[in-house]
Structure 1
Amino acid sequence: MMPSQTLRQPAATAARPKDTLARRQRFYGWLLGSPAFFGLALFILVPFVMAIVLSFTNQRLLSPNATEMVGLRNYDRLLAVTWLTQDARRDEAGAILRAADGAPEFERLRTLLRANPDYRDYSELATFTFNESRLVLLAKDPLFIKSFGNTLKFAFMVIPLQCGAALLLALLVNLGLRGTNFFRTAYFAPVVTSMVVVSIVWTFLYHKDTGLINEFLKTLSFGLIGDIDWLGSPAWSMPAIVVMSAWQGAGYQMLIFLAGLQNIPEDLYEAASLDGANGWQKFWYITLPGLRNTTIFVVISTTIAAFGLFTQVDVMTAGGPADSTSTVMYHAVRKGFREQDIGYGATISVIYFLVILAIALGQKYYFDKREK
């Protein structure tokens, strides 16, 4: 028995320093990460938990009344959607009454909503007319639905534009042409510039009468293109914000794409050249597959940033014209701080967080599934 005991003793002794080293490494890892963990808990976790609690109350920013628990009333006010149908008005003979333009007349919607207690607190969201009847969509907060639609519209426009511009800039910078450092700095400069400053500058550029963009378009088209009301027209206001936002943020994604391009082995391009591949074939079969993980990160991060649109809208359009640029974040700030309804603003934030989380997880699941 003595020889076996002497053989096992060194093994146990050797394992003990390794366990001690692993414990020390974990301890120092948690110690070094503790400032970041503390910041995340203080500025993200705690406010989110507070927002969840406030969403079940009628808390106001400044009010002499005590805060009360209201249950799911804020969520019902935010998400409640219904509809009603109306038949056209008819005269005594049964003929449809029509307006001067020939459209059928319907009973005034406000009168109908006030007369029916089931539609109390509802407002018109959208109306669809079908010959002798019309369908009216109602919501307790129609502006939230419109703001969510505007946010989706902004995201669908800015994500491909910004990511595409960033990839193009990264490809140009990666060519190693003369003046690369200057152009890299110039492309990245808008990223480090305050969004408020950028928004103010672009507001002047978009001015209908004296803006440089309209002057440039008129000169380029020899006067065929007139003055466009970029920020005062519902048709142009959101595209104008999209272009400005893509210009401001493309530099950040450019650096990420540039790092991904520099990690692609040059041997692959040399082998493709020997096989007779042209530039497009190299880009399609080498560059894009090599940037796959980089592209996933850029798309997901750009999506999250797009859904946080606020500053540009607040500075340039204030949600107008006709609520065409109102976003969910702008609506939440307006309700929570300007109208001092903290409980309802917190409800918007909680629902919006869950929506963004679901979209980000859905994107990750989609990309992971394609990889398999």
Structure 2
Amino acid sequence: MTFIDRQVSVKPPRFTPYQLTPWFFAAPALVLLFVFLILPFALAFVFSFTDQRLIGNDELGTSFVGVRNYTRLFEDDSFWAALRNNFFFVCVVAPLQSLSALGLALLVNQALAGTRFFRTIYFMPVATTMAVVAVVWSLLYSPDAGVINRLVGLLSFGAVGPQDWLRDPALVMPAVMVLSIWQGVGFQMLVFLAGLQSISGDLYEAAKLDGATPWKQFRYITLPMLKNTTIFVLVTTTIQAFQLFTQVQIIQASGASAPVDSFRTMVMLMVHEGFGNGKIGYASGVSVVFFVIVLTVSLVQRIVLREERAVQ
């Protein structure tokens, strides 16, 4: 009998209760993930093919309408205005906030006295609720007694008059961008700071011995070593920018009289259609499209990070 003809019996591994231990630890997170993320999205996906209303009507009921909500969605001017505002916000805020965070991280990474104090100061807006930040900045943007207009007039020596930031359609979105960058730049600063502190000081010492200037050290050492950190910051900032809602909602409630389509966002449109007009089916279609956009960004992040690791 050859070795091939022999029948080797392999005993299956015995089940032990200890194999369930990881699942017990993961169970609370999995339950919360299912209840607050997977289940709501599944319901939204189903409702997007119906004429579901916020307040039910026994006489009318809920009917299957197919892709009518999506057809109406892509024919809605408010949807395209919200999508345009979102992309405009993302294209400006994501790079500016990331560059500002990198600059602040470089400053507070210096071996100087008081750097911990400035790290705390720069991070304080992140710890403040966005609703509070939006209310305070709406007062700062006041055309009559706002500090922003006084500062602009002071810096321009009176050449630039008071601006109606929250009523001018051309200024309301830039005003939202400024307060958003100010509120969120501290978090990205800490991420860049962690990346900077992970770079070995021996690389800079060797570069100094070779006569490299500070600019060349930054270009050929700091930037390449921060590639993964920069990708993470850019992608997470982009995802957060797509979720823009609190700032514009607070500013609108504070009395901004600019046309709504000049600062309406995808989430704002979804909330307005779902809870304002009671059209849950249509709002669900908006949420599904929004989810696809965020998912696409996440997939791009995964592909870029995978290619970056492959190169390294």
The answer, yes or no, to whether TM exceeds 0.5 is yes
Match of 1:28 in 2: 21
Higher strand share: 1
Give the drift of 1:63: 3.5
Give the drift of 1:369: 4.2
The answer as to whether partners of 2:228 and 2:305 remain within 8 angstroms in 1 is no
Q: Distance in 1 between matches of 2:103 and 2:219?
A: 14
Higher-Rg structure is 1
Match of 1:76 in 2: 71
Match of 1:150 in 2: 85
Match of 1:41 in 2: 34
Q: Per-residue displacement from partner, 1:235-259 (whole Å, max 9, x unpaired)?
A: 1111111111011001111111111
Q: Distance in 2 between matches of 1:342 and 1:291?
A: 44
Give the drift of 1:189: 0.8
Unaligned runs of 5+ in 1: 1-11, 80-138
Q: Distance in 2 between matches of 1:368 and 1:155?
A: 23
Q: Distance in 2 between matches of 1:251 and 1:176?
A: 19
Write the letter of the residue equivalent to 1:174.
N
Match of 2:61 among 62, 66, 73: 66
Q: Distance in 2 between matches of 1:222 and 1:302?
A: 36
The answer as to whether partners of 1:317 and 1:325 remain within 8 angstroms in 2 is no
Match of 2:265 in 1: 327
Q: Distance in 2 between matches of 1:320 and 1:264?
A: 49
Please say which of residues 237-246 and 217-226 is displaced more in the overlay. Answer: 217-226
Q: Distance in 2 between matches of 1:294 and 1:29?
A: 30
Write the letter of the residue equivalent to 1:29.
P
The answer as to whether partners of 1:61 and 1:337 remain within 8 angstroms in 2 is yes
The answer as to whether partners of 1:214 and 1:227 remain within 8 angstroms in 2 is yes
Match of 1:166 in 2: 101
Write the letter of the residue equivalent to 1:40.
L
Residues 1:27 and 1:263: Cα distance change in structure 2 (over 3 Å): farther
Match of 2:50 among 57, 74, 83: 57
Q: Distance in 2 between matches of 1:291 and 1:31?
A: 37
Secondary structure at the counterpart of residue 211 of structure 2:
coil
Q: Distance in 2 between matches of 1:143 and 1:367?
A: 35
1:313 aligns with 2:248: yes
Q: Distance in 2 between matches of 1:219 and 1:73?
A: 54
The answer as to whether partners of 1:170 and 1:255 remain within 8 angstroms in 2 is yes
Q: Distance in 1 between matches of 2:148 and 2:116?
A: 28
1:208 aligns with 2:143: yes
Match of 2:207 in 1: 272
The answer as to whether partners of 2:167 and 2:258 remain within 8 angstroms in 1 is yes
1:212-291 superposed matches below 5 A: 212-291=147-226
Match of 2:7 in 1: none
Give the drift of 1:219: 1.6
Q: Distance in 1 between matches of 2:95 and 2:302?
A: 17
Match of 1:352 in 2: 290
- Identify which of structures 1 and 2 has the higher relative contact order when contacts are C-alpha pairs closer than 8 Å and 6+ apart: 2
1:178-193 superposed matches below 5 A: 178-193=113-128
Q: Distance in 2 between matches of 1:150 and 1:255?
A: 28
Q: Distance in 1 between matches of 2:216 and 2:302?
A: 27
Q: Distance in 2 between matches of 1:155 and 1:41?
A: 29
Unaligned runs of 5+ in 2: 1-9
Higher helix share: 2
Give the drift of 1:332: 0.6
Residues 1:60 and 1:320: Cα distance change in structure 2 (over 3 Å): farther
The answer as to whether partners of 1:320 and 1:326 remain within 8 angstroms in 2 is no
